[in-house]
Amino acid sequence: MKRFSALLEHLLFAPQRNAKITYLGQWLTTCPPQDRGWGVAALTGDLDLGRVKGGVVRQLATGILDEELFAQSYDFVGDLAETTALLWPGQPRRNSGDQNEDERNDHGQNHDGQNHEGPGLDDVVRSLQASSKLEAEAHLRVWLDQLDETGRWGLLKLITGGLRVGVSARMLRLALAETYATPVEEIEEIWPLLAPPYDELFAWLEGRGAKPSADGRAVFRPLMLAHPIDDDTTSMISPSEYLAEWKWDGARVQLASAEDGVRLFSRSGDVINDAFPELTVALDWHGTLDGELLAGTLDAVEPFSALQHRLNRKKAGPKLIAERPVFFRAYDLLMDGALDTRPLPIEDRREKLAEVMARLDHPLMDMSEELPFRSQLELEQWREDCRASGLIEGVMLKARGSAYQHGRIKGLWYKWKRDPLTADVVLMYAQRGHGKRSSYYSDYTFGAWIDDGAERRLVPVGKAYSGFTDAELKKLDQFVRQNTTNKFGPVREVAPTMVVEVAFDSIAPSTRHKYGLAMRFPRFAHIRWDKPAAEADTVETLKTWIT
């Protein structure tokens, strides 16, 4: 646990992706081999211990600590694992010179048999997987006593599943590729076929075994991505050089069908079959399709907010499937049987895709149509039409004759998104963030005015966590501390005096929110220090933007 906890601490405070990848590479090559696979699984979200939850951690902590002290400490720190790790009366932080290495055996034990290094990651995982709930709690208490603050923090982050260190599954695979000098595309292709602790993977990467075979298997193919377009490039787009189609307001997915069945992958290569089982019924065709997961039906697309009801569930039951239908809209063909179609020009791929979709004749699948345009003016009109429908993010532009290549290839694919909407809202509540933001009030709830009879009052209409600079965050945090009017556990109510301009992609009706509105991707655009709160927007104004 000691090495893994140190890794988590490094990752938490490393701001740049390359620095995180370097730390991951160092850990992969120096940690005990038996720990490596479990650490990878934890970082990619594929390790589900399921024995000890946050409530158990809090119960253990308050069982040996003063409950009021713990509550106040947690309120200040804002993170359960960090609070418990700091307050737990276990081993203090040890200096490397406290004991000679030759006084310990290979398991971190002194010759008196006492383990002063705490459990290894492999010990923790295998012990919890073989334990009942009560046994797991007993293990946890012993481990917390053995570890220092950093070790306790890492242990609690691991077992409660809340690492939050800024590492995605994609970044982890990039680190594996860089560390073992292997193309990331090859790792991503076989990833869905692997399971923790990834013994086959490491045997292959280290040259001790063959590459796990993907023959006849439904596997993920690395995606081709688009660059945002700028004004100079837009002016040079012509129908003789580019195809156009809608940029649908859904979730990018990939559907693969092979001898071992159908798999639906997220854009990061994660299998999401359980969340969308209606799309993974066996097909009488084998190949790989790139496309968009959309809410609604083939004839009636629904807003992205409707899709979120399904995206937020790991498993979908019959009731949810019936109430929140989804479908798959294909826009590229990567494999057709054993034929790799990616090197073909886009025109040929689309022609073959049309043939495949006609052959499948699937009630939950169709093809994204090409948008004909003869001039720059017509293309701009297509983009303007996006906002009117509310169901389309923008226009995709794809170079004629282009092959399907991994990553963002300049000059080949562009995305021309509609302009965001903006609203002036009032800051109402704030809460501390997580990870490196745990000491700052960085999660904000904002409101708009509503006229309720003779009374004009603010009501919450959304939350935002991004869009501000580090310098602005410090000013926002200071504002919250100086203008707090009420406390609700970790939440602070503030005097309604600060106006913020928030940008968002769209707004839709929502039964989940008290005032019936849900913003898509709200973020700070500007802090309006100059604007009186009374001049902020109203709920009625926001409703006029519903499409």
pLDDT of residue 91: 59
Neighbouring-strand partners of residue 243: 398
Residues 495 and 379 in one domain: no
For 341-357, what is each residue's pLDDT tens digit?
Answer: 999 999 999 999 999 99
Of 160, 175, 191, which residue constitutes the final position of a domain? 160
Q: CA-to-CA distance for 360 and 287, rounded, in angstroms?
A: 12
Query: Angle between the 33-44 and 121-129 helix axes, to the nearest 10 degrees?
Result: 70
Residues 408 and 453 in one domain: no
Q: Any idea what the CATH number is for the domain that residue 141 is in? A: 1.10.3260.10
Pick 261 or 53 by higher pLDDT. 261
Neighbouring-strand partners of residue 446: 427, 462
For 132-172, what is each residue's pLDDT tens digit?
Answer: 888 888 899 999 999 999 999 999 999 887 788 889 888 99
Give the model's confidence band at 96: pLDDT under 50 very low, under 70 low, under 90 confident, else very high. Answer: very low
pLDDT at 98 over 60: no
Tokens of 181: 């000098």
193 located within any domain: no
Domains held by the chain: number: 3
Query: Is the link from the previous residue into 197 a cis peptide, with omega within 30 of 0?
Result: yes
CA angle 254, 167, 445 (to 5 degrees): 90
Give the model's confidence band at 424: pLDDT under 50 very low, under 70 low, under 90 confident, else very high. Answer: very high
pLDDT at 330 over 90: yes
Neighbouring-strand partners of residue 413: 398
pLDDT at 24 over 50: yes
Q: What is the mean pLDDT of residues 447-458?
A: 84
Q: Any idea what the CATH number is for the domain that residue 279 is in? A: 3.30.470.30
Determine the structural domain holding residue 429 and report its residue range: 421-543
Instruction: Identify each DSSP E strand in 267-387 by its residue range.
Output: 287-297, 300-301, 326-336, 339-340, 365-367
| Chain-centre distance for alpha carbon 434 | 15
pLDDT of residue 435: 67
448 located within any domain: yes
**Coil, helix or strand for 360?**
helix
Residues 373 and 310 in one domain: yes
pLDDT of residue 105: 40
460 located within any domain: yes
Q: What is the mean pLDDT of residues 59-65?
A: 81
**Pairing of β 421-432 and β 242-248:** unpaired
What size, in residues, is the chain?
Answer: 547
Of 113, 132, 160, which residue constitutes the final position of a domain? 160
Torsion angle in degrees (nearest 10) through CA of 60, 63, 69, 72 = 40
278 located within any domain: yes
Give the global pTM.
Answer: 0.75
Whether the CA torsion 266, 268, 270, 271 is positive or negative: it is positive
236 located within any domain: yes
**CB atoms closer than 10 angstroms to residue 504:** 20
- 57, 156 in Cβ contact below 8 A? yes
